[in-house]
């Protein structure tokens, strides 16, 4: 393992960078790939790490610190920055989902209005609607259940709906 002080950009020292890359590329790639879980992104980050090392050149003088530790720290910082950038990009591009919770108040209001409207009807008209709508009976079944002619059921049904629609009693 190579330890600092390490210089990779001194004049005529490009073989040092090649040597550094040959020795540390695979371990760095494995490390970064575990962080970002994307092989191509990990390759880009490792390349950026070596570019950073190349740009730092003779300033990379970490006495007693292994160069791999320095490279790993740079790679980790670049990976974290990349993941943050991806997360911010997702926040900007993902449409906001409007999560509406079911509101039972509307159903309660509708039920109260229905009861109020049904109370405006006569007992006979209300009975016809209850049999036909709530019980699901046909006109003939309703007539038999109420003991009235079919035409009376039809007439009461018509007048009850008219009263509910208009809010006033049928003439």
Name the nearest CA neighbour of 25 among 47, 51, 3, 53.
Answer: 47
Comparing 14-93 with 119-166, is the CATH topology the same? Answer: no
Domain ranges of the chain: 14-93, 119-166
What's the topology of domain 14-93? Answer: Rna Polymerase Sigma Factor; Chain: A (1.10.1740)
Q: Rounded to two decimals, what is the model's pTM?
A: 0.45
Q: How far apart are the first and last CA of the chain?
A: 103
- Model pLDDT, residue 102: 65
Least confident of 5-19, 45-59, 115-129: 5-19
How far does CA 57 lie from the centroid of its chain? 45
Give the model confidence (pLDDT) of 90-119 as tens digits: 666 556 666 666 667 777 888 888 788 888
- In the numeric block, the tokens 């991806």 are attached to 86
Residue 73 φ/ψ, nearest 5 degrees: -65, -45
DSSP class of 102: P
Is pLDDT of 68 > 70?
yes
- In the numeric block, the tokens 């695979």 are attached to 26
Domain 119-166 CATH class label = mainly alpha
Mean pLDDT of the residues in the chain? 80
Q: When comparing pLDDT for 2 and 56, which is higher? A: 56
């Amino acid at each position: 393992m190579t330890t600092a002080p390490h210089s990779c950009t001194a004049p005529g020292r490009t073989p040092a960078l090649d040597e550094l890359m040959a020795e540390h590329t695979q371990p760095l790639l494995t490390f970064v790939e575990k962080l970002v879980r994307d092989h191509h992104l990990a390759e880009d980050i490792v390349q950026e790490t070596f570019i950073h090392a190349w740009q730092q050149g003779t300033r990379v003088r970490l006495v007693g610190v292994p160069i791999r530790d320095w490279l790993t720290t740079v790679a980790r910082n670049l990976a974290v920055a990349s993941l943050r950038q991806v997360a911010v990009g997702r926040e900007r591009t993902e449409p906001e989902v409007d999560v509406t919770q079911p509101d039972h108040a509307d159903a309660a209001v509708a039920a109260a209005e229905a009861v109020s409207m049904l109370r405006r009807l006569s007992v006979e008209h209300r009975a016809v609607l209850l049999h036909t709508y709530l019980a699901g009976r046909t006109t003939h079944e309703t007539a038999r259940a109420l003991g009235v002619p079919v035409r009376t059921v039809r007439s009461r049904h018509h007048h009850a709906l008219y009263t509910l629609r208009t809010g006033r009693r049928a003439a």
